Amino acid sequence: MATIQRYTVAASRDPSQLFYSVTTGIGQTTTREEVSRFANIGVDRVIIGALGASANEYTRLIETNANALIA
């Protein structure tokens, strides 16, 4: 993040006006600790990629991630 912020300043942009997102990959397990580490370095959004075979499975995956990651 420090490197990205240096490049932003070098381009005469304000780093505080940018939002930073990361993705954990489709179908990858993500822990609350990983999300905390991302937040600690300045990431604003973590995108969790769910991979399901049906609408019901997607719903289950989203609810499972929400319960595991949101305090």
Pick out the chain residues at pLDDT < 70: 71
pLDDT per residue as tens digits for the range 24-42: 888 888 999 999 999 999 9
**Separation of alpha carbons 18 and 16, rounded Å:** 6
pTM of the model: 0.75
Domain layout of the chain by residue ranges: 19-69
CA 12, 15, 20: angle at the middle one, nearest 5?
Answer: 135
pLDDT for position 70: 86
